Structure 1
Amino acid sequence: MNDHYQTKSPVLFIIFNRPETTRRVFEQIRQSRPSRLYIAADGPRTDKPDEGTLCADARKIADEVDWPCDVKTLFRETNLGCKEAVSAGITWFFDQEEEGIVLEDDCLPANDFFRFCDTMLEKYRHDTRIRHICGSNYQHGKKWGTASYYFSNLTHVWGWAGWRRVWQEYDKELTQYHAEDVRPQLETIFTDRFIVEVWGNIFKHLKAGDIDTWDYQLTYLNFFNNSLSVIPNVNLVSNIGFGQQATNTVNQHSLNANMPLQQLGTIVHPVYILPAKEADSDTLNYEFEIPRRWKKYNKPKYKLKRWFKGLFK
């Protein structure tokens, strides 16, 4: 008998070349027993001789579903890369489902994550202000408000849930991007000049094709549609993939690596639907090293340099 919460929502499981973390995450999915499970996998890279075996080992998970479940797979034979493979997998999922849960092979969910997602998907199904449901919390014990979750302008994707109504607007190539418009619009969201500067550079390089990723495009979409995300006041997803094998999360000493999973308890909803700006600032201050940037900016030699430049404007 399964005493764990059983999710009502379909689940998309995105895997690649890490059979060990894939199995750990799958065990948590197994406990939640979704009735529909989608598994998407990119193909091995030609310059990685051992990757074919690793990818094949990870894909064996599809044969280990031992509960009543409709399993669908999208297994690529060739490597598309993070941007193409993950975004296409999510599109494949939302082409068949109106809403659902998305997990990658290094994002270990608590069982409460599935209950949280089910509740949020239902509550905000038709509320177009809310466009993203996060599972991870980067506040490291600090809570915002007395409810079980708060609202944010950010879109954490280490375990998340969402709706087709949002994903159908996803713009992988940022076709609506206009460089001259981005900074003024970002300044209406963030007051810190360095946060604005970093996001502006991210979107600039994303548009130029310098960053092989899919998730910043979702952030871009939500920023410029005045959208809100839901973030639990406890951490419900732990990224267990930090290390040299990771694509992006290589710093094993990051505060956000292997964060402990917590219990949600009874879900209490916030009274007001407004973003917790200070919570977002705390997250970005660490992620973008904002205090270090300000410290450098305020050094006397840099102040003098800016004053001198100002003489010739």
Structure 2
Amino acid sequence: MNTISDISVLFFPFSRPLYARQTFDAIKKVKPKKFYFYCDKAREGKDEEIKNNNIIRNYIKEIDWECDLKTWFRDENIGVYQSILDAIDWFFEYEEMGIILEEDCLPSIAFFDFCRQLLPKYKDDKRVWFISGNNMIEKYYNSKYDYIFCNTSYQWGWATWRDRWQSVNRNMFNVNEIIDYKLHRQLLADKKISNFEVKNLQKWKDKNGFWNPKSWDYKFQLSMTCNGGLAIIPKYNLVSNIGTMGFNSSRENKTIHNIKVLEVENYPIKIHPPFIVSDFNFTQMFYKRLVFRNRNLFQVVIQLLKKIL
């Protein structure tokens, strides 16, 4: 990949043009040579959602650069969970690697340059599962390296490879086996963090000790954990989650939403980490500053997931 426009990009907005417009405009600056535009259908009877969905679909008329454009605008609504899985499956039917952006994940230009360098570098290294655009631990400059590896991160603007996506477990996870094996304790190297994850799994598992997550990102992350996989974390935040639960900005969570990004066009990687292992200091700070601090929010998510199951 010689330029940032060489990276294939999947964009899947839905019904929030306030956010989708900003993310789409960021993509337009990059002018990807291969651009995939996916959009689920709005739900029947939701007039405002239908209106906004149509507004977003019309963005397609603004693509004025030369590119291999593929679109998939659904004729019926299938729901967020299956919709996202289908969108990424569709993307990787054609591409070996690429960037994945939801409507409320606003990337800096530097994010594309970051992925341009690292997608080819780790293409054949199955230890690395994805490249994250997120680093919400501000001023985490623990080393001289321009990125780190970690076994946890958000996927609010990310990149991955076809074979990693195809390695995601689409079926039930054997939670009892994960707990008995002390998988999180071995990988996270922290008793408090491990216990937190185990307690969540115990809440989610069914009476037979199995769980089929109805959240695509948790399904991906748990598959990564079960395979001992790692995420690449940039030294600086490169993608901002601008979504604040619909249009209600008063519910913004300042520890994870609207975090400033590195506003440059290039992300020079001068020094790569010498070892492909998890940075446990970052993991501890991630849980302490983001997960544990936002535990009430996570409990709401847990209850919603339990209702879905």
TM-score (norm 2): 0.84
Change (3 A) 1:113 1:292: closer
Q: Which residue of 2 aligns with 1:171?
A: 169
Change (3 A) 1:225 1:274: same
Q: Which residue of 2 aligns with 1:233?
A: 235
Q: Percent of pairs identical after alignment?
A: 31
The answer to whether structure 1 residue 289 and structure 2 residue 292 are counterparts is yes
- Cα distance between partner residues in 2 of 1:163 and 1:151: 17
For residue 172 of structure 1, report the CA deviation from its aligned partner: 3.2
- Cα distance between partner residues in 2 of 1:24 and 1:291: 26
Match of 2:107 among 106, 109, 125: 109
- Cα distance between partner residues in 1 of 2:250 and 2:167: 31
Q: Which moves more between the two structures, 202-211 or 40-49?
A: 202-211
Q: Which residue of 2 aligns with 1:180?
A: 176
Match of 2:281 among 271, 278, 282: 278
Matches within 5 A, 1:43-82: 43-46=41-44, 48-82=46-80
**One-letter amino acid of the counterpart of residue 224, structure 2:** N
Q: Which residue of 2 aligns with 1:222?
A: 224
- Cα distance between partner residues in 1 of 2:240 and 2:128: 23
The answer to whether structure 1 residue 266 and structure 2 residue 268 are counterparts is yes
Contact preservation (8 Å) 1:244, 1:250: no
- Cα distance between partner residues in 2 of 1:16 and 1:68: 24
Q: Which moves more between the two structures, 256-265 or 25-34?
A: 256-265
Alpha-carbon displacement from aligned partner over 1:182-232 (angstroms, at most 9, x marks no partner): 221111112444422442354456666796421001101111111111110
Change (3 A) 1:27 1:206: farther
For residue 148 of structure 1, report the CA deviation from its aligned partner: 1.0
Change (3 A) 1:48 1:199: farther
Contact preservation (8 Å) 1:110, 1:237: yes
Q: Which residue of 1 aligns with 2:140?
A: 142
Contact preservation (8 Å) 1:144, 1:233: no
For residue 171 of structure 1, report the CA deviation from its aligned partner: 2.1
- Greater gyration radius: 1
Alpha-carbon displacement from aligned partner over 1:275-302 (angstroms, at most 9, x marks no partner): 1111012112233327989xxxxxxxxx
Secondary structure, aligned partner of 1:189: helix
Q: Which residue of 2 aligns with 1:20?
A: 18
**One-letter amino acid of the counterpart of residue 174, structure 2:** H
Q: Which residue of 1 aligns with 2:30?
A: 32
- Cα distance between partner residues in 2 of 1:106 and 1:76: 20
Alpha-carbon displacement from aligned partner over 1:68-123 (angstroms, at most 9, x marks no partner): 01111111232222211111100110111011110111111110100101111011
For residue 250 of structure 1, report the CA deviation from its aligned partner: 8.3
Q: Larger relative contact order (C-alpha < 8 A, sep ≥ 6)?
A: 2
Change (3 A) 1:265 1:69: closer
Figure out how many residues of one structure are paired with residues of the other and give that number.
285
Q: Which moves more between the two structures, 182-191 or 222-231?
A: 182-191
Alpha-carbon displacement from aligned partner over 1:229-267 (angstroms, at most 9, x marks no partner): 111000100111124448xx9840331210111146421
Q: Which moves more between the two structures, 30-39 or 180-189?
A: 180-189
Secondary structure, aligned partner of 2:232: strand
- Cα distance between partner residues in 2 of 1:142 and 1:52: 42
**One-letter amino acid of the counterpart of residue 164, structure 2:** V
Give the unaligned 5+ runs of structure 2.
Answer: 297-309
**One-letter amino acid of the counterpart of residue 215, structure 1:** D
Change (3 A) 1:53 1:205: farther
- Cα distance between partner residues in 2 of 1:117 and 1:206: 34
- Cα distance between partner residues in 2 of 1:141 and 1:118: 24
TM-score (norm 1): 0.83
For residue 170 of structure 1, report the CA deviation from its aligned partner: 1.6
Secondary structure, aligned partner of 2:50: helix
Runs of 4+ residues over 6 Å off in structure 1: 290-293
Q: Which residue of 2 aligns with 1:88?
A: 86
Alignment RMSD, CA only? 2.5
